[in-house]
């Protein structure tokens, strides 16, 4: 029996002998590589956090104690150690185990995460709840150095400084190497400063001096701070009232356990600075941790994806379009929030380094920064995933749209994205962007139209958003093309009958729906909406006279979406038109393949065709 096979429920790791920790870590890494190579998932971050997670499970009791994993993509080892090893065969698959912490999945998952910089806020809330309920248990927030670029983390740190009970914050720093020449002094200082005897003696001496000789006490305090500034590497945190421990080797289980034990003795917030290496233990991931941050299924021997011959994606199309436009427009600048590779701005960065800005995991700052650039005469393009842009809604409203500034939002991963689940589905952007006055909202039907929309957006003197899906870019309907005109849809085919008025990615679905309906003897026309705001009211008015039904199609939730805007316009105009809204039902969409999730939500071609046929039959029956 392997060591890993002896761990089947929470806290089983404590039965493993200390001299076997290194072997266990090796088994866990081998297991992760084997499973993720088959299902895909976040690999590099999980390989880097193996020993850290082992140390936490050796130091804590689950589910009484709580860990809040920032983002949560590094929680695979935690899932293994809490008895979910057998669930990895269906990792990130429909109906299977999530790649992120899920409270509904296990009582050992204390908080659902998926977005960055939230862990300290959530952990602080748990500590306050513990205090109010006179509860017990240790609360730990694990946050990466990348997530510490998010402003929310610092808002939380500001509040954490007022704590008078224990909270452990682990800063998982995987971008800094460990300096052995200074390792001994921090460990020595940590042992002294976190021992109960030292803390009690220090406080007792200072209180006595302060009562009898306040001037002397003040001088001693100043001297102590000056000495600490020289000796303690984490003075930034110390100055905020947070005890700093570290740096600690994040791949040494015994050192980590010792640091966590020291931190548990302090009745205030403690930050443990842990240094780890992303991808450690698997050569390809060590050499290219970005590639293995989120990876599709791959060949273990080579590290190469199993599916070869990748066709251009919408992200690739956006990347090429940005290069072409930048050569023509010297004021064009690109902005990303720590997603240079993901949003396709890497080539732009290389070609135009002075016109590229990565602001870190700080979407709010990215938007207001872009507004400042626009106010200064530049033409900024903010490239961001749909699910992350919603964090900056206030800035879009107040800093961009209220001032009518020409900021372009290139919204990647819009619609259903698949395996990352509820926190990453981009199904809200049509609703939240089209709700803002003055915002032009577009969606391309294919890769050519995306490039043209980006060029068109640069010609508009106001805020614009262009949303496009994840994955291979649709290359069909290239021969069917009308020049872009603000607020005007494009007729793809006009054969009377039912009008399918489709937004972006749903144009491709509409083609399939038309084929199904033709087989059933129902005439069907297709229009590419192009614009969600402003609406093509001329087409809508004409449609009321020339088509038996108008079917709006969008890969977005129902509330506040394109279909609702169309229905509202018809109502305001007093026009009675048979309408069918095809959209994602209000709610959160689980993980799975896009095809599975489209069927689940009823926006696949077969489901849409069936709904149209049912509504048509009902209308005929009512007439008869």
Question: Which residues are annotated as catalytic?
Answer: 278, 363, 391
Round to whole Å and give the CA distance between 214 and 193.
23
- What is the residue-wise DSSP string for 54-78? HHHHHHS-TTTSEEEESSSTT-HHH
Rounded CA separation 3/20 (Å): 8
Structure tokens at 365: 């700052």
Cα separation, 55 vs 170, whole angstroms:
12
CA 80/CA 432 separation, integer angstroms: 38
Neighbours of 24 (CB within 10 A): 22
Q: What are phi and psi of 550, to 5 degrees?
A: -110, 120
For residue 580, give the DSSP letter.
E
What phi, psi does 520 have (nearest 5°)? Answer: -95, 5
Consecutive H or E run containing 156 = helix 151-160
Task: Quote the Cα angle for 600-605-611, to 5°.
Answer: 80
CB atoms < 10 A from the CB of 607, how many? 17
Between helix 447-459 and helix 314-328 the angle, nearest 10°, is 40
Q: How many residues does the chain have?
A: 624
Evaluated on CA atoms 235, 239, 245, 251, the torsion sign reads negative
CB 333, CB 375: distance < 8 Å: no
Q: How far apart are CA 596 and CA 606, in angstroms?
A: 12
Q: How far is residue 579's CA from residue 549's CA, in Å, rounded to a whole number?
A: 6
- Distance in angstroms (rounded) separating the CA atoms of residues 423 and 71: 10
Nearest Cα neighbor of 119 from 154, 84, 92 is 154
- Pairing relation of β-strands 139-144 and 167-173? parallel
Q: How far apart are CA 570 and CA 579, in angstroms?
A: 10
Rounded (5°) CA angle 287-288-291: 160
CA 488/CA 479 separation, integer angstroms: 18
At residue 9, what are phi and psi to the nearest 5 degrees? -155, 165
Strand extents, DSSP E, 87-176: 139-144, 167-173
What b/e readout covers 517-538, taking b as 16+ CB neighbours within 10 angstroms? beeeebebbbbbbbbbbebbee
Binning the chain into helix, strand and coil, the percentages to the nearest 5 are: 45, 15, 40
Residue 46 has, within 13 A of its CA and on its CB side, a CA count of: 29
Angle, CA 387 vertex, CA 430 and CA 444 arms, to 5°? 45
Q: Is 593 left (phi over 0), alpha (psi -120 to 50) or beta?
A: beta
């Amino acid at each position: 029996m392997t060591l890993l096979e002896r761990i089947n429920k929470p806290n089983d790791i404590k039965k493993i002998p200390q001299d076997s920790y290194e072997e266990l870590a090796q088994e866990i890494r081998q297991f992760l590589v084997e499973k993720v190579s088959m299902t895909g998932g976040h690999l590099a971050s999980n390989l880097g956090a193996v020993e850290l997670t082992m140390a936490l499970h050796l130091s804590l009791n689950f589910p009484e104690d709580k860990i809040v994993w920032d983002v949560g993509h590094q929680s695979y080892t935690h899932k293994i150690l809490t008895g979910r090893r057998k669930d990895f065969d269906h990792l990130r698959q429909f109906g299977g185990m999530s790649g992120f912490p899920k409270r509904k999945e296990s009582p050992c998952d204390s908080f659902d995460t998926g977005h960055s910089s939230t862990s300290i806020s959530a952990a602080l809330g748990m500590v306050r709840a513990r205090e109010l309920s006179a509860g017990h248990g240790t609360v730990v927030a694990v946050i990466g150095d990348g997530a510490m670029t998010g402003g929310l983390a610092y808002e939380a740190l500001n509040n954490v400084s007022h704590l008078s009970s224990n909270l452990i914050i682990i800063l998982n720093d995987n971008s800094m190497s460990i300096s052995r020449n200074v390792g001994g002094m921090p460990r020595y200082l940590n042992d002294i400063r976190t021992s109960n005897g030292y803390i009690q003696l220090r406080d007792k001496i200072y209180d006595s001096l302060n009562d009898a000789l306040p001037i002397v006490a003040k001088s001693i305090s100043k001297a102590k701070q000056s000495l600490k500034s020289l000796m303690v590497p984490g003075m930034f945190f110390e100055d905020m009232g947070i005890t700093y421990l570290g740096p600690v080797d994040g791949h040494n289980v015994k050192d980590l356990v010792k640091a966590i034990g020291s931190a548990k003795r302090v009745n205030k917030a403690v930050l443990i600075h842990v240094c780890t290496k992303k991808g450690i233990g698997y050569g390809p991931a060590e050499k290219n941790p970005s590639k293995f941050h989120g990876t599709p299924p791959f060949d273990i021997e080579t590290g190469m994806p199993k599916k070869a011959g990748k066709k251009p994606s919408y992200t690739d199309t956006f990347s090429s379009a940005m290069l072409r436009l930048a050569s023509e427009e010297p004021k064009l600048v690109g902005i990303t929030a720590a997603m240079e590779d993901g949003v396709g701005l890497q080539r732009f960065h290389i070609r135009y380094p002075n016109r590229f800005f990565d602001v870190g995991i700080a979407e709010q700052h990215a938007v207001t920064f872009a507004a400042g650039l626009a106010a200064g005469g530049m033409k900024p393009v903010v490239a961001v995933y749909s699910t992350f842009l919603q964090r900056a809604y206030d800035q879009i409203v107040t800093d961009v749209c209220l001032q009518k500034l020409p900021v372009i939002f290139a919204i990647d991963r819009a619609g259903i994205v698949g395996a990352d689940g509820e926190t990453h589905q981009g199904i809200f952007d049509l609703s939240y962007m089209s709700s803002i006055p003055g915002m032009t909202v577009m969606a391309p039907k294919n890769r050519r139209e995306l490039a043209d929309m980006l060029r068109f957006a640069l010609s508009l003197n106001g805020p614009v958003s262009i949303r496009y899906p994840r994955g291979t870019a649709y290359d069909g309907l290239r021969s069917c093309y009308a020049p872009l005109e603000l607020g005007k849809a494009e007729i793809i085919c006009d054969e009377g009958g039912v009008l399918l008025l489709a937004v972006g990615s749903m144009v491709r679905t509409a083609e399939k729906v038309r084929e199904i309906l033709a087989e059933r003897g129902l005439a069907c026309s297709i229009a590419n909406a192009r614009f969600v705001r402003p609406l093509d009211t001329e087409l809508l008015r004409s449609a009321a006279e020339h088509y038996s039904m108008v079917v709006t199609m969008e890969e977005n939730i129902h509330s506040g979406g394109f279909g609702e805007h169309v229905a509202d316009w018809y109502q305001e105009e007093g026009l009675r038109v048979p309408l069918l809204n095809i959209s994602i039902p209000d709610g959160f969409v689980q993980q799975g393949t896009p095809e599975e999730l489209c069927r689940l939500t009823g926006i696949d071609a077969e489901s849409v065709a069936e709904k149209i046929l049912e509504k048509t039959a009902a209308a005929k029956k009512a007439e008869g």
